[in-house]
Amino acid sequence: MMKIQKIKGFADLFPEEAAKFTFLESRAREIFGRYGFGELRTPLLEHTELFAKSIGEDTDVVGKEMFTFPDRKGRLLTLRPEATAGVMRAFIEGGDWQPGQVRKYFTTGPMFRYERPQKGRQRQFHQINAEILGANEPQADAELILMLRTFLTDIGLTRLSVELNTLGCRECRPMFRQALTAFFAGLDREKLCEDCRRRVETNPLRVLDCKVPGCGELTKDAPHITDHVCGHCREHFDTVKALLDAARVAYTLNPRLVRGLDYYQRTAFEITSGEIGSQTAVAGGGRYDGLVGSLGGPDVPGVGFACGMERLAMLLEHCPESRPDFHLAVLDERAVNQCLILAQGLRERGLSGEVAYAPGSLKSQLRRANKSGARMALVVGGEEFDKGLVLIKDMGGAADQRHVPRERLLAMVAVSGLEALLSAALPERTEE
């Protein structure tokens, strides 16, 4: 029979990989909590219109990469390609916001983009996403970048570069767009890639960060947006930079950094890691004042970022692994049921570990205990079963082992947990 395979660009996360994701999420939850962020869980499916309106019709994400399909009544739905749009919709519908208030939300979970799968790029991928709504101050932008850096450092990432740019606002961007269009008018457009030939008309800023080498070369003398932004945008950007300087965050100014989503205004940033290639961002974000208003909500400013969890997982050197406390080895058929109940008692008292469902040789069971990384092996063979004993063997030390009466075991654990058993296993504490 033909085996059913997973969908291209979608991955299964087996426990070792899933543990990395859980680790990343739990560190983000803890660290973002220090900055006052609360978790917001939004649906995976939204009306297609939400993404078209917020991310922009002319973006690659909306134009080419969305998983869109009609529901049973013919309404177009899309699997979320990013979290920001859904967070905005939720905020407008249920955020209960009053002017003057600031809301901070973080979201984690799968996102979907129909991209060409490659290392660090999937069609179903996961993001950790954070948004601050209601603050137009540059302090919010800086705080977010600092929070992101704190998180990335905490999980052990080094060799990170922060790229920073300002994209201007509704007032000054049209002027820059004109300057750019005038510059493109003097170019041989045929030399641009197919996408950029279209972007020159629809979204000229996007030409600036096209990754096709020919396009970069052709547009290397293009005007810089930083020379065209208005006084308010310049002041905002200067404060963000001054705050990053004060916090000793190194960054590179990249006037060509545009980001692939249309909702950005003013601050835009990306974080790349030397370890997975400078073209591949591990995180990106920026300010999006006006987005909430354009979706029918109040005029609320916003700023946020998202990290790609697959890319972070690739860079994790060591995810703290959880070592089980015990492995309960059963060597005698008669002890099997009793051991399952004993293991249950240990787990109820907070210890973690596994128990064999069927008897096996001491050698094979100790091999299993070793493989699992258990701190100690508990062994019940025929002799132990007959005498009502359990052999405690400290897996850390070669000869540290001792017999303990079975009925005392749970009482010892109840009083002082795993340590009671580990100290019981020390050889100098009398042999049974």
Q: Which stretch binds ligand HAM (CB under 6 A): 15-23, 223-231, 280-288, 321-329?
A: 280-288
Give the separation between CA 212 and CA 218, rounded to whole angstroms. Answer: 10
Which residues within the stretch 21-60 sit at the binding site for ligand HAM (CB under 6 A)? none
One-letter amino acid for residue 324 of the chain: P
Q: Give the single-character DSSP code of 10.
A: -
| Token couple for 336 | 């099997």
Answer for the pair 265, 170: CB distance below 8 angstroms, yes or no: yes
Answer for the pair 308, 282: CB distance below 8 angstroms, yes or no: yes
Residue 261: HSE in the Cβ half-sphere, 13 Å Cα cutoff? 26
Nearest distance in Å: CB 129, ligand HAM: 5
The reply on whether position 79 binds ligand HAM by CB under 6 A is: no
Nearest distance in Å: CB 358, ligand HAM: 43
The reply on whether position 267 binds ligand HAM by CB under 6 A is: no
Which residues within the stretch 2-21 sit at the binding site for ligand HAM (CB under 6 A)? none
Answer for the pair 95, 133: CB distance below 8 angstroms, yes or no: yes
Give the separation between CA 394 and CA 87, rounded to whole angstroms. Answer: 50
Give the separation between CA 263 and CA 289, rounded to whole angstroms. Answer: 8
The reply on whether position 311 binds ligand HAM by CB under 6 A is: yes
The reply on whether position 86 binds ligand HAM by CB under 6 A is: no
The reply on whether position 103 binds ligand HAM by CB under 6 A is: no
Within a 10 A sphere around the Cβ of 255, how many other Cβ atoms?
15
Binding mask 227-266 for ligand HAM (x = CB under 6 A): ---------------------------------xx-----
Selected from 46, 60, 82, 289, the binder of ligand HAM by CB under 6 A is 82
Selected from 162, 281, 366, 369, the binder of ligand HAM by CB under 6 A is 281
Answer for the pair 380, 339: CB distance below 8 angstroms, yes or no: yes
Nearest distance in Å: CB 122, ligand HAM: 5
Selected from 59, 78, 107, 127, the binder of ligand HAM by CB under 6 A is 127
Give the separation between CA 341 and CA 344, rounded to whole angstroms. Answer: 5
What residues make contact with ligand HAM under the rule CB under 6 A?
82-84, 113, 115, 120-122, 125, 127, 129, 131, 260-261, 281-286, 288, 304-308, 310-311
